[in-house]
Chain A
Amino acid sequence: MDCSCQRDFEFGRNSHATLTTVSAPRAVCAKAFRGCPVKVSSSDMHPVSEYVTAANRRSVLRSGVIGCGAAALSSLMHCDAATAESSSRAEFPQFTPKAKRVIHLCQSGAPSQLDLFDWKPGLRNRRGMELPKSVIQGQRFTGMTKDQASFPVAPTTFEFRQHGNSGAWMSELLPYTARVADELCFVKTLHTDAINHDPAITFIQTGSSLAGRPCMGSWLSYGLGSMNEDLPAFVAMTSGRSGQPLYDRLWGSGFLPTEYSAVKFRRTGDPVLYLSNPPGISADLRRKMLNDLSRLNEIQLQQQGDPEIAARMTQYEMAARMQASVPDLVDISDEPQHILDLYGPDCRTPGTYASNCLLARRLAERGVRFVQLYHRGWDHHAKLPSTIPDLCAQTDQPTSALIQDLCARGMLDDTLVIWGGEFGRTVYCQGTLTETDFGRDHHPRCFTIWMAGGGVNRGTTYGETDDFSYNIARDGVEVHDLNATVMRLLGIDHTKLTYQYQGRHHRLTDVHGNVVEQLTG
C-alpha cells in the first residue's frame, strides 16, 4: 500500500491512534443492489426453489437489462452470454482497477479557477486593461456579456502560496485543502463544449449536454454493480441553499433502466424517500406485515411459477434491510469527537456540505460504489471577492477532512475523489470593475479540477493555461478524456462499456475520449 496517510496531516494527527482500529468496510460482497435475486436469508422467509431462482436470472435480464453488459448481473448470476443478445459482453472490470469506488464532489455553479488554483501573477499589472483580442480569439461569450462594451482584466484579489512538497499554488481561500496538496492531482486544462450551467453540468455528468443519457454513476453501477447488499450502489446528496438549481437527470440513469439511478439521500425528512414506516406502524408490526405479505406472495409463486414474484419478495426483504441500514448510516453519533472536529462544526447539521462529506465516507466504508455530492452556490457573476470566501468556508475544511479521513482508514488508495465544477470563469470582469469588486462570467475554455486517491498521480499538476487562464497553453483535457480516465482507474475500457439504445451502442464517452495516462499513478 502506498497510502500517504503515514505522513501526518495537521488535522488528522490526533486521529491516527483510533482510526487504525476502525473495522473494515462491512458487507462487501459482489451482489447487485436491485433487480437481482439475492437468496433470501431471513429465517422468516420461505425458501425459494432453485428452478425459480434460475428462471429468475433470465427474467431479470429480460426485464431490466438488454443484453448482458452488466457485469454486476453477469458476475452475480453467472450469466450465460449466449442467452443475451447484446454485443456488450465484456466482463467488467476488464483489468485490475486502481479505484474501487468514487466520491465525486461536484461544485455546482462553476468555481473560479483564477481565484482558487490557477495562479496568474502577471495579471496584477494588467488590472483594468482590456483583454487582448489575440487572447479572446473570437471565442463565444455568453449572452450575459456579449454586449458588454469592454472586457477589463480582473486579477484575483486573493493571495496565493505554494504548498506541500509538490509546491502546488493555491489561494488563501483554501487553507485546509492546501494541507493535503500533496495528495492532489490537478488538471488545469479541463475544457467543455457548453457555456451555460444546465447543459454544462449535464455534459460533465453524462457526456452529453442534452437530457436523456445515463450519468457516470449509473454507467458504473450498470457496469460494475454493487459491493454491498444493504445500500444502493450509487448515492447522490445535495447541499447549499441557493445558486444554480440541480436536476434529477444529473444522477439519473437516462436510457439505462431506472435501477441504475442514484438513490438521492435527502437532507430533510427521510434520508431515502419513503424509508420510514408511517406513524402507527411499528417496526414489529411492519415485520409481521412483511411476513404475511411474503406468505401470500409465496402462494402465488407456487401456483404461477413466475420468477418475478420471487424477485419482488427479495426486494421487500432488501427494503426492510434498508430501513435498518440507512438510519444506522446517517446516525453519526458513533463518530468520535476528533472526526467531528476534523470535518468541522457544520458536519453535525444534516444537509450541509460537511455533513455530506462525512456521510460520503460512511457510504464508501459500507461499500457504496459511487457517491456524488453537489454543493450549490459557486456562480459568481458579481461580487466575487465578497462571496467566494463563503463558499470556500463551507467546503474547504470538509473536503480536506474527507481526504485525510479516507487516508487514515487506508481507503484513499482505492477511493477516487474528484473535485470540480462544470466550467471555469472569465478573466475579464462581468459588470463594473471597481477597486474591491468584480464578477466573472462562464468560461468553458479552461478550468481546474483535482482528483485524489484511487490511483491518480498525486502531488502533480497536469496542463497549463495561458497567462490569462483563458486558453490552453499545453495539454488540454476534454471532459470525455477525464471520464475515460476515471473509467480506466476503475478498471474499465471506456469504449467497451456500452448499451444498445435506439439502434446505437452508446457509451459514456460517446465516440470520444482518450485516457490521459499522465494522470494515473
Chain B
Amino acid sequence: MNDSPLQCVHQNRSVAFTLIAGFAFFADAAVAKSVDFDRDIRPILSDNCFQCHGPDQEQREADMRLDRKASAFTSADGNARIVPGKPDESELFRRITGAVPEVQMPPPDSGRSLTTRQIELIGEWITQGAEWKEHWSFVPPVRPDVPKVGDKTWSRNAVDAFVLSRLKREGLRPSAEADRPTMIRRVTLDLTGLPPTPEDVDAFLADESEKAWERVIDRLLKSSAYGERMAVRWLDLARYADTSGYQNDGARDMWRWRDWVINAYNDNMPFDQFTIRQLAGDMLQIVPEPGRIGHGSLDLDAVTLNHWIASGFNRNHRGNSEGGVDPEEYQVEYVVDRVDTTATVWLGLSIGCARCHDHKYDPISQTEFYQLFACFNNIPENGRALKQGNSPPYIKAPTRSQRKRLKKLNREIAALRQQWNQSQPALNEAQSVWEASLLPDESTHWSLSDGLRVHLKLDGDLENAVADATPRESETTASSVAEATPAPTFIDGRVGKAVQLNGENFVTVGDVGAFDYMDGVTYSAWVRAESDGTILARKKPEKDGQGYSIGVQDGHVHVNLINRWLDDCIRLSTVGSLPFSQWHHVAVTYDGTRQAAGVTVYIDGQAQAVNVHFDFINQTFASMEPLRIGSGITDLQGAVDDVRIFARSLPAKDVGIIATSESLEELANLPQSDRTVFQQDLLQSCFLETAAPEPLRKLHARLSVMEQQKVELVETVPTVMVMYEGEPRATRRLNRGRFDQPAEEVAVGIPEILMSDATSGASDRLEVARWLVSPNHPLTARVAVNRYWQMFFGEGLVSSMEDFGSQGSRPSHPQLLDWLATEFMRVDWNVKYMHKTIAMSSAYRQSSMASEFLLQRDSDNELLARGPRFRLAAEVVRDQALAASGLLHDKVGGPSVKIYQPDGLWSEIASDTVYETATGKDLYRRSLYTYWKRTVGPPSMMTFDASTREMCTVRRARTNTPLQALALMNDVTYVEASRALAQRMIQEGGSTVDDRFARGFRLVLGRQPNYEESRIAQAAVARYAKEFENNPEAAQQLISIGESAVKNDTNAEELATWTAVASVILNLDETVTRR
C-alpha cells in the first residue's frame, strides 16, 4: 500500500466518495446495529485476504497482515491503513472499493472478490470506530452471567436460560416437552447407545415424582453401557482400529487401550486427567524401557500400568510395513499424525496446514507446528512398522484377572524356590549316591528332550530319532525322508558316528525343522569343518533365497533368516571364528521376536559376540525346500554329528547341556572340581528327571510346572503400543513438510497465540498435556463441551466441530458455549456432571416435532426451538436391534470380535486375509467390540457412515441411502435379530396380534403402537401368514438364518410370519432415528 502513487489516490477520490456516500445511505437501513469485528469482519478478511495478508510469512504480500491489529492498522513505515471512524481515509477501504483501480483488492486475478454487502460492512465497522477483537476462540472464555428470563416454569438450569433468552430475541418460543416414552428412549440411546427396556419405560411412566427424569439419567450414567457409548465417539477421534492400516493391513492389539477408555468414562475420570494420561501417561511415573517384548511392565503397580496403557492414544495411528518404505519418511508421518490428531481433538484446530508452511488462516507458524512435533518425536519407534502385531514400543498389559493370577504364581514360585534352595544339601547328597551308582563301563548318553523335534544322530543312518514329536501348528507334519547322494560316508564322530561330507554330497533330511519368523527355535550340531559351507538350512537354493541357514563363511559362523534379500531379512555373523579341522558344537537360538537381538549363536556352549548385517524381518522365512545338512548356500566339506532342532529357544544353560557330549558315566567319574558348569548342569538335570528321590523330583517338577505356567500366562497377556520417551531426537523444521528436507532445529514449545498468562510454555510432552488442561486455556474446554453438546443435539454449538479457527463457524450460542466451558472447568472437568446438566435441561426435553413454521423459520434447528432428531449412529443401529431382540451379549471389554459379514470381502481385495467369523455369544457383542479393519471396514457399519478409523474423525456424516435399506432388510444380523425379536413378541406379547405387535413396538421404540399402526399390523400378519402357510419351506429357511438356535417347540410358519413383521419394525424410520 505504501507504494501507491498519491496522485492516483487523488484522481479517484470522487469515485470512492460516491461509493462511501451510497454505502452510508444503505447502512442506515440495514447495518444499523453495531458491527462486531470478530463476528462480521474477520470472516470476510479470512476468506478473501488472509491468503496473501495472513499468517503465512512466505505468501505474505506488501508485508501486511490483516490477522494482526498492528499490521492491519499501520504499515511498517507508519502509514495508516485503517483510520478509525474514517473509511474514506482508510487505505484498506479505498482499495476494496476500487477507489484505486490499479491496486484493487482482492486483485481481480485472485479469483476472489468482495460482495457489495461485505464492503459495506467493512466500511461501517471503520465508521463505528474500527474496534479490533481477537478471534473469539483464542480468547479464554469468561464465565457469562446467566440471563434472567422471566419464564421460571420452563427454564430449569443455566442451559435453558441461555437458550430461552436467544429464542426470545428471535421471537420464538420453545416446543412442548416430548412425550415420556420418546424422552426416555432419546436419553437412553444418547447416554448408553441402547434402547430402554419396556420395564424402564414403565418405571419412568409410573414415577410421578419431580425427580423421575433425574433418576433415569442417574441410572444411565451409572450403567457400564454409558462408558461403552462414550468410548465409541472417542475411538473415532483416536483413530482406534484393530489393524495397522497400510497395504496388507495386518492385525494389531490396542484393545487394552480401548478398554481403558471405557473404564475411564465409567469411572467418571475428570477430563483433565483423561487428557494428561492419554497424551503423556508414560511420563507420570518412571517406567522401565519397554524393550521389544515389553515384559518390563508385568510387575508394575496397577496405577502406573494404567497410565502407561492410556498413552496408547497416540500410537493408534496407522503404521506402514510395506517392503521398501523409507523408515524416516513414515516416522515423520506418525509424528505429524500425532500433532494433527492432538490439535484436532483438544484444540479444535487443523494445524496440519502448518506442516508445510505457515498456516494460511490461523496464526500458527510452521515453526510452531514443529515445536509441537518435537514433543512427540522422541518415541523409540521404527517408521517401518511390523506387518503383524504391535510395533515397538509396546508393553505387556495384563488385565486385572491376569495380574491377580500373575501375583499368585509369583508368590507360589518364590515359596517353592525357597523350599528348593533349602533342599540343596539333600539333593547333593542324593546325587552323589546316584553318581556313584553309575557303572564306569557303560556309556549312557542323556540330553534334553523337551521341545526336541529333530534329532539326527548320524550314527550310520539318517533317521530322525524323534519319532512322535507332536508338531506345532506352523510345522508341517510330513515324516522325515532322509537321503543323500552320493551315499555319505560315516566316520567316528563326536557321539558315535558322524556323517562325512566332501563338498559334493549333502544330506537331504526332508520336511522337518520348519519354523517361522514368530516361532522360538534352536538349531544345534557338532561340526568339524574343513572349509566354508552351510551346516544346515531350509531355504531356496539360490544365494540369499528365502529360508534360514546356518553355516561357516570366511571362518565365521553366519546365520541367515531371509524373506527377501536386503530389506526383509536378518543376517549376523560371529566376531570370533570357528576353527577348521576340530570338533566344535554350534548352536543357534531364535526367540521369534523378529529381530537380530533375538538370535544367539553359541560355540561350544558359549554365547558369541556377533556382527549384525541386516536386522529387519517382517514376513515369513518359511521355505518349501527340505531341511538339508551340508548344503544351502555353499556345500560343506567336513563332518557333522548329532543335529538337533528344538521347537523352542533354549536358555543358555540348556545350550550348555546339549553342547556336552560325554556320557553320564564319564561325567560321574570326573571329580566334581574338574567338571565344567555344563557337565555339572547335565548331570543334575538328568538326575532330577530320572533318578532323584521322589520328594525332590516332585518339588522340582512342581517348580518347573509353575514356572511353565507363568511363561504360558505371560504369553497370553495382551500387549498394547505405548508412548515412551527414548533418546531425545533432534527435531528440525522440514521445508515444505518433506522428511528429506530438514532445516533448522526446533525445541518443544506451544503456539504463541494460545499462550496465556498462566503458562510460560512447555518443554516436553507432559508439559504440553498439562498446558492443554490449564485454567484459562482458550480452547480445550470449549472444544470438549461442544462435542458433548453434539451428542445430545446432533450438531455442535460450533457447527464446524473440527475447526474453531478463523475459517470455522461461529458459535450459535456463544455465551452458552462459554458458560458450559467455564462450568466444566469449575467442576474440575467432571464429565458426567456436564452430561447430566445438558440432559436435565428443558431444551433437551423438548419435542422434536417440527411445525411447518419452524421448518421454514429454522430448518437446521440452530435456535433450539424444538428437540433434536437425527439418525442413529451405525453402532447404535445394530446394538439396538441386538438389545431389543434379546440377542445382545453385554460383556464389557476384551479382544475385538468378528461379527457377521458377507464371505470373501477381505480376500477379494487382499490375498492371505481370511475372515473368520466369531461364534456363539461373541457374535452378539456390542458394536464397539467389532473387529475394525481399516482398509476394509465392517460393511454394514460403513454403510451407516461409521469412520474408517484411518484418521482422526470428529464428526460423521449422517446419510440416508438405499444401501442402508438393503443392509437393514437383508444383512443376516438384522434378519436374525428380526427372528429373535419375533420370538419375544410371540412369547412375551401374548396371544393376540395386537399384543404381540405392541410388544415388538415397545421393545424397539419404547412406545405403544397407535390404532392405525395396529390396523396395518393386523393386515400384514394375515398376509404374511398366508404366504408362509403356502410355503412352509420358505418359513423354515427364514427362521434358520443366523447362528442362534430356534426353540424346539416353535411353529415355523408362525415364527416366520412374525419375523417378517419384526423386520418391518426394525426397518422403520422411527427405529433408526432418535427423536
Interface residues of A (CB under 8 A from B): 33-35, 51, 55, 58-60, 62-64, 85, 87, 140, 142-148, 195-199, 210-212, 238, 241-249, 252, 257-259, 263, 266-270, 272-282, 284-286, 288-289, 292-293, 295-297, 299-300, 303-309, 311-313, 315-316, 318-319, 322-323, 351, 374, 376, 431-432, 441-442, 495, 500-504
Q: Does B386 contact A (CB under 8 A)?
A: no
In the assembled complex, the Cα of A431 lies from the Cα of B360 at a distance in Å of 47
Q: Closest residue of chain B to A239, judged by CB?
A: B908
Q: A248-B948, A273-B939, A293-B1067 are in contact. Are A34 and B959 (CB under 8 A)?
A: yes
Q: Are A280 and B957 in contact (CB under 8 A)?
A: no
Q: A143-B567, A504-B350 are in contact. Are A245 and B247 (CB under 8 A)?
A: yes
- Top 10 closest A-B pairs, CB basis? A280-B1038, A245-B910, A142-B324, A211-B950, A280-B1037, A247-B935, A502-B350, A503-B807, A319-B965, A319-B962
Interface residues of B in 967-1018 (CB under 8 A from A): 967, 969-972, 975, 1010, 1012-1013, 1016-1017
Tell which of B333, B361, B940, B967 touches A210, judged by Cβ atoms closer than 8 Å.
B333
Q: Are B961 and A266 in contact (CB under 8 A)?
A: no
Tell which of A245, A258, A270, A312 touches B249, judged by Cβ atoms closer than 8 Å.
A245
**23 A–B pairs (Cβ distance < 8 Å), ordered by A:** A64-B959, A87-B47, A143-B323, A143-B384, A144-B564, A246-B910, A247-B909, A252-B948, A257-B945, A258-B945, A274-B902, A275-B970, A286-B969, A289-B1060, A289-B1064, A300-B1068, A304-B1075, A315-B960, A374-B909, A432-B542, A502-B803, A503-B349, A503-B802
Tell which of A249, A295, A305 touches B950, judged by Cβ atoms closer than 8 Å.
A249
Q: Are A34 and B962 in contact (CB under 8 A)?
A: yes
In the assembled complex, the Cα of A101 lies from the Cα of B905 at a distance in Å of 27
Looking at B267-275, B399-407, B705-713, B848-856, the stretch in contact with chain A turns out to be: B848-856
In the assembled complex, the Cα of A300 lies from the Cα of B964 at a distance in Å of 19
Q: A211-B318, A247-B909 are in contact. Are A308 and B951 (CB under 8 A)?
A: no
Q: Closest residue of chain B to A148, judged by CB?
A: B566
Chain B contacts for A142, CB-based, 8 A = 323-326, 567
Chain B contacts for A87, CB-based, 8 A = 47
Q: Closest residue of chain B to A500, judged by CB?
A: B807
Interface residues of B in 201-235 (CB under 8 A from A): none
Q: A268-B904, A308-B960 are in contact. Are A195 and B852 (CB under 8 A)?
A: no
Q: Are B948 and A503 in contact (CB under 8 A)?
A: no
Q: Shortest Cβ distance from B398 into chain A, in angstroms?
A: 33
Q: Closest residue of chain A to B564, judged by CB?
A: A144
Q: Are B1027 and A245 in contact (CB under 8 A)?
A: no
In the assembled complex, the Cα of A293 lies from the Cα of B1068 at a distance in Å of 7
Q: Are A211 and B948 in contact (CB under 8 A)?
A: yes
Q: Does B871 contact A (CB under 8 A)?
A: yes
Q: Closest residue of chain B to A295, judged by CB?
A: B1016
Type the 1/0 row for B241-253, where 1 means its CB is closer than 8 Å to any CB of A: 0000111110000
Q: A35-B959, A198-B320, A319-B969 are in contact. Are A503 and B362 (CB under 8 A)?
A: yes
Chain A contacts for B1038, CB-based, 8 A = 278-281
Q: Are A431 and B942 in contact (CB under 8 A)?
A: no
Interface residues of B in 22-36 (CB under 8 A from A): none
Q: Does B409 contact A (CB under 8 A)?
A: no
Chain A contacts for B1020, CB-based, 8 A = 288-289, 292
Q: Are B326 and A140 in contact (CB under 8 A)?
A: yes
Q: Are B951 and A211 in contact (CB under 8 A)?
A: yes
Type the 1/0 row for B796-819, where 1 means its CB is closer than 8 Å to any CB of A: 000010110111110000000000
Type the 1/0 row for B393-430, where 1 means its CB is closer than 8 Å to any CB of A: 00000000000000000000000000000000000000
Q: Are A269 and B904 in contact (CB under 8 A)?
A: yes
Tell which of B324, B856, B911 touches A245, judged by Cβ atoms closer than 8 Å.
B911
Chain A contacts for B1034, CB-based, 8 A = 279-282, 285
Q: Shortest Cβ distance from A244 into chain B, in angstroms?
A: 7
Q: Are B948 and A249 in contact (CB under 8 A)?
A: yes
Chain A contacts for B975, CB-based, 8 A = 278
For A35, A87, A273, the residue with the greatest tally of chain B CB atoms inside 10 Å of its CB is: A273
Chain B contacts for A284, CB-based, 8 A = 1027
Tell which of B353, B859, B1013, B1072 touches A299, judged by Cβ atoms closer than 8 Å.
B1013
In the assembled complex, the Cα of A313 lies from the Cα of B1073 at a distance in Å of 13
Type the 1/0 row for B1058-1069, where 1 means its CB is closer than 8 Å to any CB of A: 001001100111
Q: A212-B951, A258-B945, A315-B960 are in contact. Are A281 and B248 (CB under 8 A)?
A: no
Tell which of A212, A249, A282, A293 touches B1027, judged by Cβ atoms closer than 8 Å.
A282
Q: Does B663 contact A (CB under 8 A)?
A: no
Q: Are A245 and B951 in contact (CB under 8 A)?
A: no
For B352, B353, B1020, the residue with the greatest tally of chain A CB atoms inside 10 Å of its CB is: B1020
Tell which of A246, A431, A503 touches B350, judged by Cβ atoms closer than 8 Å.
A503
Q: A273-B902, A281-B1038 are in contact. Are A316 and B805 (CB under 8 A)?
A: no
Q: Are B965 and A279 in contact (CB under 8 A)?
A: no
Chain A contacts for B943, CB-based, 8 A = 258, 273
In the assembled complex, the Cα of A461 lies from the Cα of B567 at a distance in Å of 37
Count of B interface residues, CB-CB < 8 Å? 119
Q: Closest residue of chain B to A303, judged by CB?
A: B849
In the assembled complex, the Cα of A87 lies from the Cα of B111 at a distance in Å of 12
Q: A144-B566, A281-B1060, A289-B1063 are in contact. Are A296 and B1013 (CB under 8 A)?
A: yes
Q: Does B1024 contact A (CB under 8 A)?
A: yes
Q: Are B564 and A272 in contact (CB under 8 A)?
A: no
Interface residues of B in 484-518 (CB under 8 A from A): none
Chain B contacts for A495, CB-based, 8 A = 111
Q: Are B962 and A315 in contact (CB under 8 A)?
A: yes
Q: Are A249 and B970 in contact (CB under 8 A)?
A: no
In the assembled complex, the Cα of A316 lies from the Cα of B1071 at a distance in Å of 14
Chain B contacts for A319, CB-based, 8 A = 962-963, 965-966, 969
In the assembled complex, the Cα of A297 lies from the Cα of B968 at a distance in Å of 15
Q: Are A143 and B972 in contact (CB under 8 A)?
A: no
Q: Are A285 and B324 in contact (CB under 8 A)?
A: no
Q: Are B322 and A280 in contact (CB under 8 A)?
A: no
In the assembled complex, the Cα of A142 lies from the Cα of B939 at a distance in Å of 34
Q: Shortest Cβ distance from A505 into chain B, in angstroms?
A: 9
For A144, A245, A263, A285, the residue with the greatest tally of chain B CB atoms inside 10 Å of its CB is: A245
Q: Shortest Cβ distance from A267 into chain B, in angstroms?
A: 6
Q: Does B745 contact A (CB under 8 A)?
A: no
In the assembled complex, the Cα of A143 lies from the Cα of B329 at a distance in Å of 11
Chain B contacts for A502, CB-based, 8 A = 344, 350, 352, 802-803
Q: Are B969 and A274 in contact (CB under 8 A)?
A: yes
Q: Are B960 and A288 in contact (CB under 8 A)?
A: no
Q: Does B565 contact A (CB under 8 A)?
A: yes
Q: Are A143 and B324 in contact (CB under 8 A)?
A: yes
Chain A contacts for B1064, CB-based, 8 A = 289, 292-293, 296
Q: A257-B959, A280-B1041, A308-B871 are in contact. Are A315 and B564 (CB under 8 A)?
A: no
Q: Are B850 and A306 in contact (CB under 8 A)?
A: yes
Chain A contacts for B962, CB-based, 8 A = 33-34, 315-316, 318-319, 322
Q: Shortest Cβ distance from B40 into chain A, in angstroms?
A: 15
Q: Are A248 and B936 in contact (CB under 8 A)?
A: yes
Q: Shortest Cβ distance from A438 into chain B, in angstroms?
A: 14
Q: Add 4 more A-B contacts to A279-B1034, A503-B362 (CB < 8 A).
A: A252-B948, A259-B961, A312-B1069, A503-B800
Q: A210-B333, A280-B1038 are in contact. Are A315 and B324 (CB under 8 A)?
A: no
Q: Are A285 and B1024 in contact (CB under 8 A)?
A: yes
Chain B contacts for A242, CB-based, 8 A = 911
Q: Are A309 and B1069 in contact (CB under 8 A)?
A: yes
Chain A contacts for B852, CB-based, 8 A = 51, 55, 305
Q: Closest residue of chain B to A313, judged by CB?
A: B1069
Q: Are B247 and A197 in contact (CB under 8 A)?
A: yes
Q: Are A270 and B902 in contact (CB under 8 A)?
A: yes
Q: Closest residue of chain A to B1073, judged by CB?
A: A308
Q: Are B1024 and A198 in contact (CB under 8 A)?
A: no
Chain B contacts for A196, CB-based, 8 A = 247, 320, 322-325
Q: Does B698 contact A (CB under 8 A)?
A: no
Q: Does B1070 contact A (CB under 8 A)?
A: yes
Interface residues of B in 1028-1075 (CB under 8 A from A): 1031, 1034-1041, 1056, 1060, 1063-1064, 1067-1070, 1072-1073, 1075
